[in-house]
Chain A
Amino acid sequence: MTAIVRLENVAAEVGGRRLLSDVDLRVDAGEFVALLGPNGAGKSTLIRMLLGLHPVAAGRITVLDRLPAQARQDVGYLPQRRRFDPDLRVRASDLVRLGLDGNHWGFPLPFKRNRTAAERVSEVIELVAATAFADRPIGELSGGEQQRILIAQALVRRPQLLLLDEPLDSLDLPTQSSIAALLSDICTNQEVSIVMVAHDVNPIMSYLDRIAYLASGKAVVGTPAEVITGPTLSALYGTPIEVLHAADGSLVVVGQPEPPAVHSDRHHSDGHHHEYDRDPRRPHSH
């Protein structure tokens, strides 16, 4: 089986500063992999490297056996984002449609309806259960509704790889688990590989094949059971860290700078800065 994504000794630099080094990761067809780590660890940077939007400082990245920039056609991307402007007068379904053919030149003429494209758009909107609000302006939709539309947009070209940067960000818990289930379903039934950045591993824990945990300029890769353990995380951070198992099976990480496994009600101030709950002892609840 050929690897969908392969990183060999990869280093990442932002503004001349080394963020990550010696990252090795392989993602196979139909695998669901999470990228975890504290704010500023380089998760989004790594995703952008997989798209060929950020240079590789050292090592080698191949996506679908090609250079990242040449594989974009077969990759779906959901950026880490702010909400859409409430005043943006663009229909949600048009946004999905742009994911399909928005990169084509020309101006689509209204009387030249493309039936297959329109069908694909409504099919994928139905897949993410967004049909009810697909004709409304995107800015008027709630965060969760927007997120579903964006997942549809990322899926619409039938990509072989989905790169999702915090798709569960700012969603309520039931929506988080339903989207997690949806993604896992896409993974297994449509043989799509997913690399997904998350701050809270619990909603996706049971679906994950592997975790790449980024911190302190390094990455630890393994199954959830291997990575989310006291010893592994302690070694990664260089400080003692404990992983507690809550009664409902979810994990709570205690003692690190930022708790990735605890729900944190973060609020956006802008695209890059989050306020988050820094209390690691706050119990996790479902």
Chain B
Amino acid sequence: MNSFPSPHLSWNVVTDVRALLEYPFMVQAFRAGLLVAVLAGVVGWFMVLRRQSFAGHTLAVVGFPGATAAVLIGVSSTYGFFAFSVGAAIFISMLPNAGGSRSAESAVVGTVQAFALAFGFLCYTWYGGFATSIGALLFGSFLGITTSQVGALVVVTLLAIGLLAAIGRPLYFATVDPDVALANGVPVQALGTTYLIVLGLTAGAVSQITGALLVFALLVAPAAAAQRISVRPHISLAWSVGLAISIVLISLTLSYYYPYPLGTFVTTIALLTYLIVRVVRR
């Protein structure tokens, strides 16, 4: 089987899904997508609560030059995404008043974002065109996800979720009420830095599915919708993960049957989900 049997979507979901799971590359894509969705659902939930969407977007965009530079020096783009996103997280957390989107640094960070895109494209031109298309790095792709990539995603997901499980409660406190949290002995600053690094890891991971530019959609939309659905932290966190998983699974299925970039489906469905929740829950 070396060519697609010109797939088309029937109304029988079971047959549709079974059909696409016959291809190892689709199974691989679903594995990676699931991991990324869980990660984005949990980490994005804190990001929305902390009002750090801008930082999240920046960390993702910075991954792009990381990915192109990695390919340029001959290593997997996976490492590039992670190295640059996490590096940027550490850098931003060292700026005074770290991560606040309203802070004066937002101008600096915005400029860095633009520079990151330009530099990433420069690496791409130097290399003279990649096997991996630039479109995939920016807008996402589900083709050719390797076993080692999935392995890296497993490690990152476990690490990030494990860290958040350990610091979840004080991080929540430091997020909603930093003054009182500090007075109650919560290390507000250190938690902020830790969270930003987790966000960098997540941005690097999600980039591999949605592309660097569209990470944002998967981090923000499910979490923001979930926080509309319930004010109870456990329930809204569960919704956030559930919505993220649904968005990714539906997008992967659709992008198998229709010849459009994965990122288009992810962002469209994410936006629709958020809008529907906004309309219904108000």
Q: Which residues of A contact B (CB under 8 A)?
A: 51, 53, 72-73, 75, 77-79, 81, 84, 88-91, 94-95, 98-99, 101-108, 110, 136-138, 153-154
Contacts and interface: CB of A to CB of B under 8 A. Distances in A.
B68 interface: no
A88 B176 contact: yes
28 contacts: A53-B183, A73-B185, A77-B179, A77-B180, A77-B184, A78-B180, A81-B179, A84-B176, A88-B176, A89-B231, A90-B49, A90-B231, A94-B232, A98-B169, A98-B176, A99-B180, A102-B172, A102-B177, A103-B181, A103-B184, A104-B170, A105-B170, A106-B165, A106-B168, A107-B164, A107-B165, A107-B168, A110-B234
B227 interface: yes
A104 B182 CA distance: 13
B183 A102 contact: no
Given A101-B169, A102-B177, A108-B168, 6 more contacts: A79-B179, A89-B236, A91-B231, A95-B177, A98-B173, A98-B177
* Chain B interface helix/strand/loop/mixed: helix
A72 B185 contact: yes
A91 B235 CA distance: 13
Determine which residue in B164, B167, B173, B183 has the highest number of CB atoms from chain A within 10 A of its CB, and name it: B183
Nearest to A80: B179
B240 to A, nearest CB: 12
A229 B182 CA distance: 38
| B: contact size bracket | 20 to 34
A153 B172 CA distance: 15
A102 B166 CA distance: 13
Contact of B173 (A81, A88, A103, A136): A103
Contacts of B185: 72-73, 103
B180 A107 contact: no
Interface in B169-203: 169-170, 172-173, 176-177, 179-186
Q: Top 6 A-B pairs ranked by shortest CB distance? A: A107-B168, A102-B173, A79-B179, A110-B234, A77-B183, A89-B227
Contact of A102 (B184, B227, B231, B236): B184
B176 A79 contact: no
A94 B236 CA distance: 14
B256 to A, nearest CB: 35
B228 interface: yes
Query: Which of B165, B176, B184 gathers the greatest number of chain A CB atoms within 10 Å?
Result: B184
B183 A104 contact: no
Given A89-B228, A98-B177, A110-B234, A105 B169 contact: yes
Interface string B222-246: 0000011001111010000000000
Contacts of B227: 89
Contacts of B182: 53
Contact of B176 (A90, A104, A105): A90
A105 B167 contact: yes
Contacts of A94: 231-233
A51 B180 CA distance: 10
Given A81-B179, A90-B176, A99-B184, A106 B231 contact: no
Contacts of A108: 168-169
Contacts of A95: 176-177
Contacts of A91: 231-232
Contact of B180 (A88, A136, A153): A153
A250 to B, nearest CB: 31
A101 B173 CA distance: 9
Contacts of A102: 169-170, 172-173, 177, 181, 184, 186
Contacts of B236: 89
Contacts of B232: 91, 94
Contacts of A107: 164-166, 168-169
A95 B172 CA distance: 10
Interface string B17-30: 00000000000000
